[in-house]
């Protein structure tokens, strides 16, 4: 626990109240990070710095504003806070805006989420360069003469955060992150230069995979893109690879937010406790996974974290509703935003599933695209491989899938056994049948 940050938070609350605020919430973040990248076996970029910021939300006479600054000198901060309080006074009253009722803070679980690792904080420059060199070498050796360019790098950071309110909430979290990656561009036939990458993001150093594998996978994933072309438009089963599932899922999740529901900008309005996907579609929000990026003991309102089943066997069970929108909608709050997203894994590997399906498309990346959270329509470019008789045959590019989430999620026929672990969205590969693929 960092007493300096706590003291600053207390001082800020006191100063804001003296300046005329009825209530306030203060969040202070601090981070120290180092970022390095290599190309052609020498450092290309080295960057290192510390950052800090203070965010204060002011509640005054039913009015509300939020202000951020990086200038934490007390004199500057004092002026900043008085200005913020004065500005808040000019806004319209909002009867729903307040700090949460204290009873919702609950009691924060007394468990160690294992988000902080001294071994990441104490990485020295030599270890860091060695790690990146190992990744770069492994990537270069896979690419061989096909390589045009390889970039490898790491980002490591240690951070801490304090949140405090004038009605008695106080929370602290610290953590460390280590991110390691490689990307390769290689020379394909004609003028195409495919680029592929691999990465791992961990909060404990011991969970970093063998750096050689990161480099090799980046190389392999690049070579897998060779010969990409369009095939004819048709309906086929698709498998969305675990790591890219969030690109599709996030459009769905954005429609689950309290704001989307209250502002009617969601295709999930009035869909609670109704079927919104196939039996296979279950989605769990789990803030307590040890060493995972999305884990937390309290949320942005200060509510004690809770594990929640958001979607159960295709039935929508919960929305993400924070304190403010719960008041606007006159319902109970849950939590304002996702922690770790879990889709429970299935029994089979994607190889087994491909053998069973015969012909289809394995999607390994998306390009462009977007979704309309109001209607649920989406359309997105796909990159991946055609498989026939269970074997990967042709790389595909310049193709697209489109649909409406409510129909698309009904087409989910199987979940792979391979959740992607280097993200807060631990999604396995997902299998959908009868999807229109557009190409030639």
Partner 1 sequence: MSISRRSFLKTTATAMAGSAAIPIINNRFFKLRGADMQNYFEREFGISEALCQKALQVALSRGGDFADLYFEHTISNYVILEDGKVNRAYSEVSLGVGIRTVKGDQVGYGFTQELEKESILAAASTSATIANASNNNPNKEIIKLKLENYYPLKRLLTEIPLESKLPLVQGVNDKCFSLSPLVKKVNAGFADEQKRIMIVTSDGVLVEDLLPRSYLYVTVLAEKNGRRERSGWNIGGRRDFSFYTGNIINEISQKAVDRVLVLFEAVQPPAGEIPVVLGPGVTGILLHEAVGHGLEADFNRKKISTYSDMIGKKVAEPEVTIIDDGTNPELLGSINVDDEGTPGQKTILVDKGILSSYMHDKISARFYKVKPTGNGRRESYQHYVQPRMRNTYMLGGSASPEEVIKSVEKGIYVEDVSNGQVKIGEGDFAFYVSQGKMIENGKLTAPIKDINIMGNGPKMLANITMVGNDLQMYQGGGGACGKGGQSVPVGFGLPTVLVKSMTVGGVK
Contacting residue, 2, 17, 22, 46, with partner 1 by CB under 8 A: 46
Contact of 194 with 228, CB cutoff 8 Å:
yes
Backbone angles phi, psi at 109, to 5 degrees: -60, 140
- Output the smallest distance, CB 114 to partner 1, in A: 27
Q: Print the SS3 string covering 180-214.
A: EEEEEEECCCCCCCCEEEEEEEECCHHHCCCHHHH
Beta strands in 61-194 (DSSP E): 63-69, 147-165, 170-186
51 belongs to the binding site for partner 1 (CB under 8 A) = yes
Q: Which segment (18-26, 159-167, 223-231, 343-351) binds partner 1 by CB under 8 A?
A: 223-231
Q: Which of residues 228-267 bind partner 1 (CB under 8 A)?
A: 228, 230, 233, 263-265
User: Which tokens belong to 377?
Assistant: 């329509």
Q: Which segment (1-9, 164-172, 203-211, 431-439) binds partner 1 by CB under 8 A?
A: 431-439
- Output the smallest distance, CB 125 to partner 1, in A: 8
116 or 408, CB closer to partner 1?
Answer: 408
Q: How far apart are CA 374 and CA 261, in angstroms?
A: 9
Contacting residue, 66, 168, 344, 358, with partner 1 by CB under 8 A: 66
Q: How far apart are CA 412 and CA 433, in angstroms?
A: 7
29 belongs to the binding site for partner 1 (CB under 8 A) = no
Q: Which of residues 176-195 bind partner 1 (CB under 8 A)?
A: 185, 191-195
User: Residue 223 is inside which H or E element, if any?
Assistant: helix 211-223
46 or 315, CB closer to partner 1?
Answer: 46
Size (the chain), residues: 440
Q: Which segment (10-18, 77-85, 116-124, 164-172) binds partner 1 by CB under 8 A?
A: 77-85
Max CA separation in the chain (angstroms): 73
The 10 Å Cβ neighbour count of residue 77 is: 18
The 10 Å Cβ neighbour count of residue 359 is: 14
194 or 338, CB closer to partner 1?
Answer: 194
Contact of 316 with 276, CB cutoff 8 Å:
yes
Number of residues in contact with partner 1, rule: CB under 8 A?
75
Any residues with CB less than 8 A from the CB of 86 and at least 6 apart, and which? none
333 or 428, CB closer to partner 1?
Answer: 333
Q: Which of residues 118-177 bind partner 1 (CB under 8 A)?
A: 148-149
Q: Which of residues 303-362 bind partner 1 (CB under 8 A)?
A: 328
42 or 103, CB closer to partner 1?
Answer: 42
Q: Which of residues 366-395 bind partner 1 (CB under 8 A)?
A: 367-372, 374-375, 377-381, 383
- Output the smallest distance, CB 375 to partner 1, in A: 7
- Output the smallest distance, CB 79 to partner 1, in A: 7
Q: Which of residues 90-119 bind partner 1 (CB under 8 A)?
A: 90-94, 97
Instruction: Using DSSP, state whether 82 is helix, strand or coil.
Output: helix
400 or 425, CB closer to partner 1?
Answer: 400
18 or 68, CB closer to partner 1?
Answer: 68
274 belongs to the binding site for partner 1 (CB under 8 A) = no
Angle of helix 3-18 versus helix 74-88 axis, rounded to 10: 40
Give CA separation, 383 vs 280, 291, 434, 437, in Å: 25, 31, 18, 11
403 belongs to the binding site for partner 1 (CB under 8 A) = yes
87 or 304, CB closer to partner 1?
Answer: 87
């Amino acid at each position: 626990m960092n007493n300096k940050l706590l003291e600053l938070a207390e001082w800020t609350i006191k100063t804001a109240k003296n300046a005329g605020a009825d209530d306030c919430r203060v969040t202070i973040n601090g981070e120290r990070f180092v970022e390095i990248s290599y190309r052609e076996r020498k450092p290309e970029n080295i960057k290192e710095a510390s950052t800090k910021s203070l965010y204060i939300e002011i509640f005054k006479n039913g009015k509300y504003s939020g202000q951020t600054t990086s200038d934490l000198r007390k004199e500057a901060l004092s002026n900043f806070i008085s200005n913020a309080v004065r500005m808040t006074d000019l806004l319209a009253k909002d009867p729903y805006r307040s700090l949460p009722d204290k009873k919702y803070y609950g009691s924060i679980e007394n468990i160690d989420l294992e988000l902080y690792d001294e071994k990441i904080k104490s990485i020295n420059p030599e270890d860091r360069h060695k790690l990146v060199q190992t990744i770069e070498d492994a990537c270069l050796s896979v690419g061989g003469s096909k390589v045009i360019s390889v970039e490898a790098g790491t980002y490591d950071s240690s951070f801490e955060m304090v949140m405090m309110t004038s009605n008695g909430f106080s929370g602290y979290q610290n953590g460390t992150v280590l991110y390691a990656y490689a990307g390769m561009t290689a020379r394909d036939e004609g003028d195409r230069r495919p680029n592929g990458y691999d990465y791992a993001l961990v909060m404990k150093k011991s969970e970093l995979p063998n750096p050689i594998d990161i480099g090799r996978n980046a190389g392999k994933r690049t070579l897998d893109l060779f010969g990409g072309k369009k095939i004819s438009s048709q309906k086929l089963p698709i498998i969305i690879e675990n790591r890219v599932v969030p690109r599709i899922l996030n459009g769905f999740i954005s429609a689950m937010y309290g704001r989307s529901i209250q502002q009617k900008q969601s295709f999930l309005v009035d869909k609670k406790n109704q079927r919104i996907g196939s039996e296979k579609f279950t989605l769990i929000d789990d803030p307590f996974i040890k060493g995972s990026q999305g884990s937390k003991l309290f949320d942005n309102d200060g509510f004690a974290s809770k594990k929640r089943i958001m979607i159960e066997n295709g039935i929508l069970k919960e929305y993400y509703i924070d304190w403010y929108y719960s008041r606007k909608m006159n319902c109970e709050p849950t939590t304002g935003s996702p922690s770790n997203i879990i889709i429970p894994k299935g029994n089979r590997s994607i190889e087994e599933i491909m053998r069973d399906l015969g012909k289809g498309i394995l999607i390994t990346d998306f390009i462009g695209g977007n979704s309309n959270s109001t209607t649920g329509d989406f359309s997105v470019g796909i990159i991946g491989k055609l498989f026939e008789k269970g074997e990967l045959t042709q790389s595909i590019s310049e193709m697209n899938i489109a649909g409406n989430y409510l129909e698309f999620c009904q087409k989910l026929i199987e979940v792979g056994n391979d959740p992607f672990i280097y993200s807060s969205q631990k999604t396995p590969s997902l299998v959908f049948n009868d999807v229109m693929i557009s190409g030639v």
